[in-house]
Every structure is written in structure tokens, then in C-alpha cells.
Structure 1
């Protein structure tokens, strides 16, 4: 293939050997540009048509996050990937929110992992270009463009719509999805409530791509933890000179999402002043940029999410009643993960295969014994907690099948039950019964966790617990603890 037909990728790292390694991994599929600093990267961006940028996070001067944020503002169509040695979830979420990062890759990375991420990013760039071209054609070729647009909507609905929300045939989520499908086509506000981590953003995104606005942008903003100044700037935009250090006018999400959808999560945390501004927006579609005197209008559809019941907050005087009724024209209540035991195995398998692809680690799946433990835990952290547990198991796994010995101790020690495990399993203060009853309950849970973690090797378990093999066998018989069918007892 001629070199000029290859997509162009820019790799940015201040360490020469890292740049050389990335070039070796990518040069057969890409025209590779190299930069040793953020300033050099910016110059190359101005001189070349770059589809993908891969930047290291830690560099002298501007960091990778700062560079990719500036690239997003100047060249928003360029797909951005960051390479980092940090794996803290909070840091990654901050990076994604701040710079619009498509994917992050942790060090040390594998060449195949880097190449797969770059190929996917280049494909995403091409799909975005195709989408823009189809949107332009609609203005000039009415019938043909409308047909293409319908095809595009269908593809988006298949890839990002309700079918993307994984669940079983008897899931308690199914009635919620059925209602959401009906609400999606009507241009009215929708209030989505549920515990943190139950998938409110995914449901809002599915409603957008299931609506007639599917070809327009979808934006989401979590209001929790944001001060009024930051929230107003993000939503309404900033006029030039209104804030020190902001030299140019910056448009807000309400203008970016015009004729699209804006999902505001965490509205239960809004201050009285922001509630008043949101009420005006919900009623009139009107708002004022920070530092501006003109009134602007937005054609964005509002979907909102709340972790708490807004009706209770209205009763307590913490939330405006008129705003509640303006936002809750229709309402959806997402069940927590503990109310979806039949979905946990599907979700866990999806999470593990996604994580395996992301980290370049081969995996076959999760064993039946491990899934049984996961299904009987009640997941107070909901979907993020399950996803984190599965990633942890994948990291620790030595084979291609993830067994129960990899599961965290607090999950293994939780008491199984028909409605999920007791999340307070290790809190003796919450248990009922005599001291003897409570001690026996803890002993039973520790025995079950230890035997599972050590794959029912009685010699190792007896040694770890300070018991003889005869004593261990007596305790197992006393509590009726038996190995899962997947394990053959080891001598």
C-alpha cells in the first residue's frame, strides 16, 4: 500500500525509547509522526492531517491530559489516546472527562494491544467523517440523504441503543426498558432515578439513540460535586473576559447539544440558584452564558438523573416542587444490581471480555463456581463494583478461566441468600444472636472463603488456619461446607 494512503498517527513521549517502541508497533499500518514534547506535537498537528494522537501522560511542561484537551478544542475530530502508568480509577475518569479521551492504555503495554487500540481509533475517525458527510448530504439530496440517515440511525440504535444494555429474559430491568422505548420517541423531559452505578447514563444514551435525534450529538454531565460557577460555565458557556484566564468565548453543553440530547445526572445535588436556572431552561429553553447579558435558547432535549427520590427532597424543602414537575414529565426507576441476580453472569462475562481486549490478556471466561459466588453477592456499588471485581480477577488470573479463588475475600465470606448476600457480612455489630452464634457465623464464613481461595487444598488451609487436618475436616462437616462440583478435593 502506498505510504500516502496510510492514516497518520502522532505519538508523543519525552522518552526516545518509548517513541521508538511505538513506531515499531505502528509503522506497518500508519504513517507515524513523532514528538518529544507538547509544543512539538502542536507544531506537527498544524502541519499534518492527523487522525489519531497517542500521548504519554507524564512529560515535562504540559502533561498528556493538557495537550489532548487543547487538541480536542482545536481539532475535535482527531481521536485521542493516552498512555499512563497510573491505574487509579479516579485519575482515569478525570482524564476522560477532561480531554475527551477515547481510550487509555496502561504501562507496560503490549505492541498488539497498542496496535489494536490505534486501528480502532482510526476506524472511529473514519466513521465520524462518514457521519458528518451523510449529515451534509441531507441538505442537498433530500430523499437519498433521508434514506441514508435512517440507515445510520438503525446502525446507531443497534450499536448504542437499548440492545446494548445487557440483561436476561426475566430481568427486572426489562419493564424499565420497555417504558424507556416508549418515552424515547417523545420530546419530553425524563427523570431517571436509581442508586449510583445502576446505569442511568447508559439508559439515557439508549433513549437518545432510540429517538429521532439519533443523528445529533449526545452529551452528559454529572452535576454532583460541581460548584455553581463550574456547573454554569459547563452548561451555559462563558463570554470572553467574564472569567480571568479565559481569553475567548467558550460555548456550553446546551449549545453543543442543540437539537440533540443533554443528560444531567445528579440533579438532586443542585443548589437553589442552579435549580432556578434549570427551571427556566426546562420551561422556556432559555439561558444566559456566564458574563453575558443576552438570552439564548437551546433545542436540546433534557434527560435528568437523580440518586435520591426527588419527591422526598421536595417534601423536605430541599428541591423545588415546580422544577420536579417540570423535569419528571415521565419517570423511570432503575433497579439496583442486587435486584438483578439473573443478569450478573451476563454482565460479568461481558466485563471480563471487554477488559481482556482492553489489556491484551487472553481469557476464556469465568468458571461456573466463580459465577455462583458473584451471583449471590448483593453489590452495593452496583455495576462499577462488579466491573472492578472482574478486572481485578483478570489481573490476578494465571490461566484463561477465572475461578472463585480469585474473588475478593469480602465477597467469598458473604452469606449467600435468595436475595443476594449480606453486604455487612464482616460487621459483627449488625449480627443477631448470642456471642457463640456470632462467632460461629464468622468462623463458617472464614472457612468457606479460605477453602475456596486455596482451591480446597486441605493441607494448605489447615496450615493457614492453624488447624490439624482432622480438626479442619470436623469443622467443615459441622458447618456443612462442601466443595463446588468444579473442584476435586486435594489431599
Structure 2
């Protein structure tokens, strides 16, 4: 099996120097080029670079300054500096400051340049092999105490199951307990649940509670993504397979090697990509776009689906062999409407997250707000709740957010002790007499208008085209109760 060429970054502000270096190395390396330190940093963000050759004298940051950044952010990359000046003391300082492997002086000979590059690539490979062996030994010899400490560290950093917010008696607790048990077993897991129920957070927590927690976690959402883009993002592409691409494009299966990849919306994969992913799930091998050779990667697959994949298999829309390959373990995440007891802690947490993100401090939500939120069925689940908290934060004027800020369609959900009220459309198309259904809608409109206008009955009557006497009669008829608030005044009648 052919191996991918080592990747190498050349940094020099002179185009002819870059061209000469590329010519000396391009047969043996995948080459990236940059004409400034800032451009090189951007390339490092996007590519897996093994070796860097960097000119010392450049406009802006010098080579030493850039390689100091590389040492801090990408310490595994082998760093080599090129200088046309005989500033020996400066170069010795550079080697110390930036951890530089070697420096070359201009003019250099092509054979010398190529040999230096090959030696640097060998050093990178040997260092990685040493790290891998050290990691394997560390796992073999790790004591129970150190395992617990690793898990505690992940929890402290907000990466574990404590990140999945829920009440003490939440229906989600049973799912989380199952996920904890499955996390340490290196088997694929399928997480099912409606969109926005928090499948990605559970997948991330499983990764950071597994023996792969020191390795990378990546997430890919397949929903509404072009098939060709998904193939490249997942499997990568060989140099020349994409227009204008001069290097190999690493796919997530390669980036996540020895780590975890969470593929959400897997039911949206095309039949062609289902077949390719099935082969990887069974053999651990895949073929990047445009490549002839097969590559291998050790990735734990966790997948998410908004649909019941068993029904998709029965309907011929999803491959049975892929379903059985990825679904050795299945977790079912309940929707928000089935865990409304979690809503207070979720709403307050999402509100405070939004307040921190937007720099607008608040103290929380009033009890009236939570009452309204708990009577709504939340078809968009946590995403819809997050959007609602951001919207309320933007319009808020007081440190405690009141129900007048809630979106109208949520305010129109009537109180129902047995659970969320049906949507307005369900009332319109449901059963019952015309009189009962009209009154049900009228009651919701009255309640929403009064709440939005902070129970100013004069304003509500004017907006609804009623007299104040008529409005009071309807309030009494439907038994709509005004929330009791500290400091409430009777001026709202006026």
C-alpha cells in the first residue's frame, strides 16, 4: 500500500526563492507555500504540516518570531530556518528561542536542501512513533486513580457528562447512565432523537469519558450538505483531485485517527456515501477522492439520526449492513416536551450563556416565564429554547426577565396540567364543536395579549377592539388569572 507524501511548508517573501525550494522538493513532498508569517499561520490552521522551512528576514514578523509561535501551537512540527546572513549569535539565540531543529544558509545546494528535508521528515515520524508507544505504555500502566483523575479533569473542563444539563429526576438520567457504561467500550454507538435534543453533547461526553479522551474529537453534520462536499470532508482528496489544490486534503477520518468522529444526520447520506462509510465501518479502510491507494484509520464512530433507522432500513432508504455496523449500541434521547422538568435549569443556563456571549448581564427568569415555557411543546427542542432565550435577552430591560418578552406563539399555548398544549393548527383541524374550538383559540389570544402588555387592560382592550367591560367579562369567563407580582399596582386598569 502506497503511503502519502510528507507535508512541508515553505515560507519566504521572495517568489523566486519559493519556486527554487519547491523545485528541489516537490517530487518527495506535498508542498505548501506562504510569503509571510501571517499567511503561514493561516495554512497551519488548515493543514497537517510535518516540516517547516522559513526564511529569517521577512516583512512583518521574522522567521524566528513565527517559529516561536509554531513551537507553542504546533510543537510536533519540525522547524528549520533559512538565513542569508552570517549572524551566528542571532542564529544560536533563534535555536534556543524557537526550538529550531536546524538552520541553512544561502545559497544552499539542492541536494543538501533535499537531504535536510528528508532528515526532518524522518525525525517527525520517529517522534510520532515514540509518542504513540509512550501513549500505549501509559494506557497499559495507568492505575485506577489516574483514570479517575483524567475523568475528573474532563468534567472540570466541561467536556464530560456533567455538561449535559438535566434535573435530578430527569428522564434523560437513564440515557446518560447507559452512555457512561458504553463510553469505555470501543464500539460504535448510534444516538437517535429529534433534531436539537443534544445528541452531539452526549457524543462528546462519551469521547471524553473513553480511553480515547487524549485524542481528537470531530463532528460532522450531514443534514442539507452537498454530496460531493461531504465526500471530501469525510474521506479527503488526493493532490490534484480538486481544482487549484496543490496538496492532499485531509478528511475527518484521517484527522480523527485514534480519536472519535461523530457523524450527525447520518440518515441523510446518499446511497453512494452509505456504501463507502459501510466499508470503513467494517474494515477501517477508505479511499480519498482521486486516490488509487487505500488508507486505514483507527476511528471510533458515533452517529446521530433524527429518524428511526430501522424504519429507514425497512423502507429501503438506508443500507441494512451500515445500520448493523454503526448500531451495535443504540441510545434514544427524549425530546424536550418529554422532559419539561429539565426546562428551568436548561432555560436559565442558556440565558446566562447568551448573556455572557453578548455582554448583557441579567439575573434570571421570573417564575411566570417558566410557567409559560412549560406549557409549550418545543418542536425545535433545545435549539428553539436557545433561540428564545437569546431573543428575550435582546429585548429585556430589567435584570429579571418577565413573560411579556416571550414570543407570541409560546404565550398562546394554554395551561395544561397534563402536558404541553396542542399547537393552534392542531386545534383548528382537530375535533370538537365550532363553538368550543373558537373559544379555545380566543382564550389563547386573550392570555397572550394580556401577558405581552403586562396586564394593562386598557391597552389590551384597545388592541383587541373590545371595551374594558367586555374584556373583563371574557377574562372572568375563561378564568384567566393574572400572575401575582410583588409591587403590583392597580394603575394597569387605566
Task: Give yes or no for TM over 0.5.
Answer: yes
State how far apart, in whole Å, the 1-side matches of 2:73 and 2:372 are.
Answer: 42
In 2, are the aligned partners of 1:410 and 1:426 still within 8 Å (CA)? Answer: no
Matched, 1:45 2:43: no
Question: C-alpha offsets along residues 243-281 of structure 1, whole Å, 9 cap, x if unaligned?
Answer: 222221111101110110001111111122111111111
- Match of 1:65? none
State how far apart, in whole Å, the 1-side matches of 2:138 and 2:194 are.
Answer: 45
State how far apart, in whole Å, the 2-side matches of 1:200 and 1:131 are.
Answer: 33
- Match of 2:409? 410
State how far apart, in whole Å, the 2-side matches of 1:291 and 1:468 are.
Answer: 74
Deviates more, 1:262-271 or 1:179-188: 262-271
Shift of 1:44: 5.5
Deviates more, 1:443-452 or 1:150-159: 150-159
- Match of 1:73? 46
Distance verdict in 2 for CA 1:319–1:137, change over 3 Å: closer
- Match of 1:486? 485
Distance verdict in 2 for CA 1:236–1:146, change over 3 Å: same
- TM-score, with normalisation over the residues of structure 2? 0.71
- Match of 1:108? none
Shift of 1:360: 0.5
State how far apart, in whole Å, the 2-side matches of 1:277 and 1:252 are.
Answer: 13
Q: What is the 5 A alignment of 1:383-462?
A: 383-426=382-425, 429-462=428-461
Q: What is the 5 A alignment of 1:320-331?
A: 320-331=319-330
In 2, are the aligned partners of 1:339 and 1:419 still within 8 Å (CA)? Answer: no
Deviates more, 1:202-211 or 1:435-444: 435-444
- Match of 1:168? 167
In 2, are the aligned partners of 1:369 and 1:486 still within 8 Å (CA)? Answer: no
Matched, 1:232 2:235: no
Which entry has the higher C-alpha Rg, 1 or 2?
2
In 2, are the aligned partners of 1:338 and 1:419 still within 8 Å (CA)? Answer: no
Distance verdict in 2 for CA 1:177–1:294, change over 3 Å: same
Distance verdict in 2 for CA 1:243–1:332, change over 3 Å: same
Shift of 1:168: 0.4
Equivalent position SS for 1:216:
coil
Question: C-alpha offsets along residues 15-67 of structure 1, whole Å, 9 cap, x if unaligned?
Answer: xxxxxxxxxxxxxxxxxxxxxxxxxx9845269xx8xxxxxxxxxxxxxxxxx
Equivalent position SS for 1:160:
coil
State how far apart, in whole Å, the 1-side matches of 2:76 and 2:344 are.
Answer: 35
In 2, are the aligned partners of 1:364 and 1:400 still within 8 Å (CA)? Answer: yes
In 1, are the aligned partners of 2:264 and 2:304 still within 8 Å (CA)? Answer: yes
Q: Structure 1 unaligned runs (5+)?
A: 1-40, 51-67, 77-124
Shift of 1:437: 1.7
Matched, 1:274 2:267: no
In 2, are the aligned partners of 1:161 and 1:210 still within 8 Å (CA)? Answer: yes
Question: C-alpha offsets along residues 372-407 of structure 1, whole Å, 9 cap, x if unaligned?
Answer: 111121100000000000100000001111100000
Distance verdict in 2 for CA 1:430–1:130, change over 3 Å: farther
Matched, 1:249 2:222: no
Matched, 1:155 2:153: yes
State how far apart, in whole Å, the 2-side matches of 1:334 and 1:422 are.
Answer: 22
Equivalent position SS for 1:195:
coil
Shift of 1:429: 3.1
What is the number of residues matched between the two proteins? Answer: 382
Equivalent position SS for 2:485:
coil
Question: C-alpha offsets along residues 330-381 of structure 1, whole Å, 9 cap, x if unaligned?
Answer: 1000000000110011000001101101100010000000011111211000
- TM-score, with normalisation over the residues of structure 1? 0.72
- Match of 1:195? 194
In 2, are the aligned partners of 1:380 and 1:423 still within 8 Å (CA)? Answer: no
Shift of 1:421: 2.6
Shift of 1:157: 3.3
- Match of 1:377? 376
Matched, 1:263 2:256: no
Question: C-alpha offsets along residues 121-178 of structure 1, whole Å, 9 cap, x if unaligned?
Answer: xxxx999889999x96994997799688874543123421101100001111000000
- Match of 1:207? 206
Equivalent position SS for 1:464:
helix
State how far apart, in whole Å, the 1-side matches of 2:391 and 2:461 are.
Answer: 27
Equivalent position SS for 2:424:
coil
In 1, are the aligned partners of 2:428 and 2:437 still within 8 Å (CA)? Answer: no
Equivalent position SS for 1:372:
helix
State how far apart, in whole Å, the 1-side matches of 2:323 and 2:442 are.
Answer: 49
- Match of 1:283? 282
In 1, are the aligned partners of 2:375 and 2:421 still within 8 Å (CA)? Answer: no
